[in-house]
Chains A and B, each alone.
Chain A
Amino acid sequence: MKAQLEITGMSMTFPTPKGPFVALEDVNLKVARGEFVSLIGHSGCGKSTVLNVVAGLYRATRGGVVVKGREVSEPGPDRAVVFQNHSLLPWLTAYENVELAVKQVFGPRSPAPRSKKEIREWVEHNLRLVHMDHAMHKRPDEISGGMKQRVGIARALAMQPDILLMDEPFGALDALTRAHMQDALMEIQAELNNTVIMITHDVDEAVLLSDRIVMMTNGPAATIGEILKVDLPRPRNRLALAEDPDYNHLRSEVLRFLYEKQRKVEPLKPARSQGSASKNTESAA
Chain B
Amino acid sequence: MSRVITLFRNTLALEGQPGAGLNQWISRITLPLAGIAVFLMLWSFAARQIDTSLGAFPGPQAVATQFVNLYNEHVAEREKEAAFYERQEKRNAARVAEDPDYVPKIRPYTGKETFLDQIGTSLVTVMSGFLLGALLAIPLGIAIGLSPTLSQAVNPVIQVFKPVSPLAWLPLVTMVVSALYVSDDPLVSKSFLNSMITVTLCCLWPMVVNTSVGVASVDKDLVNVSRVLKLSTLRHVQKIVLPSAIPMIFTGMRLSLGVAWMVLIAAEMLAQNPGLGKFVWDEFQNGSSQSLSRIMAAVLVIGFIGFLLDRSMLWLQRRASWDKSVATS
The answer to whether B225 has its CB under 8 Å from any CB of chain A is yes
The answer to whether B117 has its CB under 8 Å from any CB of chain A is no
B227 and A90 form a contact (CB under 8 A): no
The answer to whether B285 has its CB under 8 Å from any CB of chain A is no
B228 and A80 form a contact (CB under 8 A): yes
Q: Which of A39-47, A71-79, A178-186 contacts B (4 or more CB under 8 A)?
A: A71-79
B322 and A85 form a contact (CB under 8 A): no
- Given A75-B230, A77-B230, A101-B229, residue A87 in contact with residue B243 (CB < 8 A): no
Would you give the shortest CB distance from A251 to chain B, in whole angstroms? 32
Size of the B side of the interface (Cβ < 8 Å), in residues, is 18
Residues of B within 8 A of A76 (CB): 228, 230
Bound-complex Cα distance A81 to B226 (A): 11
Would you give the shortest CB distance from A271 to chain B, in whole angstroms? 27
B225 and A104 form a contact (CB under 8 A): no
Residues of B within 8 A of A89 (CB): 222, 225, 239-240, 243-244
Would you give the shortest CB distance from A218 to chain B, in whole angstroms? 26
Output the residue of B228, B239, B246 with the most chain A CB within 10 A: B228
Bound-complex Cα distance A100 to B228 (A): 12
The answer to whether B52 has its CB under 8 Å from any CB of chain A is no
B322 and A100 form a contact (CB under 8 A): no
B-side residues, CB < 8 A to A, are 219, 221-222, 224-225, 227-231, 235, 239-240, 243-244, 246, 322-323
- Additional A-B contact list (15), CB under 8 Å, known A83-B221, A90-B322: A55-B228, A57-B224, A74-B227, A75-B230, A76-B228, A76-B230, A77-B230, A81-B224, A81-B225, A83-B224, A85-B221, A87-B221, A91-B322, A101-B229, A104-B229
- Given A89-B240, A91-B322, residue A100 in contact with residue B227 (CB < 8 A): no
B323 and A90 form a contact (CB under 8 A): yes
By Cβ-Cβ distance, the 8 closest A-B pairs, closest first, are A91-B322, A87-B221, A75-B227, A91-B243, A75-B228, A104-B229, A87-B225, A81-B228
B228 and A79 form a contact (CB under 8 A): yes
Residues of B within 8 A of A33 (CB): none
- Given A89-B243, A139-B322, residue A100 in contact with residue B229 (CB < 8 A): yes
B222 and A87 form a contact (CB under 8 A): yes
Bound-complex Cα distance A80 to B227 (A): 10
Can you pick out 24 interface pairs between chain A and chain B where the beta carbons lie within 8 Å of each other?
Answer: A55-B228, A56-B227, A74-B227, A74-B230, A75-B228, A76-B228, A77-B229, A83-B221, A89-B222, A89-B225, A89-B240, A89-B244, A90-B322, A90-B323, A91-B244, A91-B246, A91-B322, A91-B323, A92-B243, A100-B239, A104-B229, A104-B230, A104-B231, A159-B229
Would you give the shortest CB distance from B228 to chain A, in whole angstroms? 5
- Specify the chain A residue showing the minimal Cβ separation from B229: A104
Residues of B within 8 A of A85 (CB): 221
Residues of A within 8 A of B243 (CB): 89, 91-92
Would you give the shortest CB distance from A89 to chain B, in whole angstroms? 6
Bound-complex Cα distance A83 to B230 (A): 16
Number of CB contacts from chain A to chain B under 8 A: 54
Residues of A within 8 A of B230 (CB): 74-77, 104
The binding surface of chain B is classed by DSSP as helix
- Specify the chain A residue showing the minimal Cβ separation from B227: A75
Bound-complex Cα distance A75 to B219 (A): 18
Bound-complex Cα distance A83 to B323 (A): 21
A87 and B224 form a contact (CB under 8 A): yes
Would you give the shortest CB distance from A182 to chain B, in whole angstroms? 23
- Specify the chain A residue showing the minimal Cβ separation from B240: A89
- Specify the chain A residue showing the minimal Cβ separation from B325: A141
Residues of A within 8 A of B244 (CB): 89-91
Bound-complex Cα distance A146 to B166 (A): 53
Residues of A within 8 A of B235 (CB): 104
Would you give the shortest CB distance from A112 to chain B, in whole angstroms? 14
Bound-complex Cα distance A33 to B161 (A): 60
Would you give the shortest CB distance from B214 to chain A, in whole angstroms? 13
Interface string of A92-126 (1 = CB under 8 A from B): 10000000110010000000000000000000000
Output the residue of B219, B229, B235 with the most chain A CB within 10 A: B229
Bound-complex Cα distance A97 to B240 (A): 11
Bound-complex Cα distance A75 to B228 (A): 5
Interface string of A198-221 (1 = CB under 8 A from B): 000000000000000000000000
Bound-complex Cα distance A159 to B231 (A): 13
- Specify the chain A residue showing the minimal Cβ separation from B324: A141
Residues of B within 8 A of A100 (CB): 229, 239
Residues of A within 8 A of B225 (CB): 81, 83, 87, 89
Bound-complex Cα distance A83 to B235 (A): 21
Would you give the shortest CB distance from A165 to chain B, in whole angstroms? 9
Bound-complex Cα distance A80 to B230 (A): 11
Bound-complex Cα distance A264 to B239 (A): 43
Would you give the shortest CB distance from A100 to chain B, in whole angstroms? 6
Contact of B227 among A57, A91, A101, A159 (CB under 8 A): A57
Residues of B within 8 A of A80 (CB): 228
Residues of A within 8 A of B224 (CB): 57, 75, 81, 83, 87
Would you give the shortest CB distance from A205 to chain B, in whole angstroms? 22
Bound-complex Cα distance A89 to B241 (A): 11
- Specify the chain B residue showing the minimal Cβ separation from A100: B239
Would you give the shortest CB distance from B326 to chain A, in whole angstroms? 12
Interface string of A53-76 (1 = CB under 8 A from B): 001110000000000000000111
A77 and B322 form a contact (CB under 8 A): no
Would you give the shortest CB distance from B221 to chain A, in whole angstroms? 4
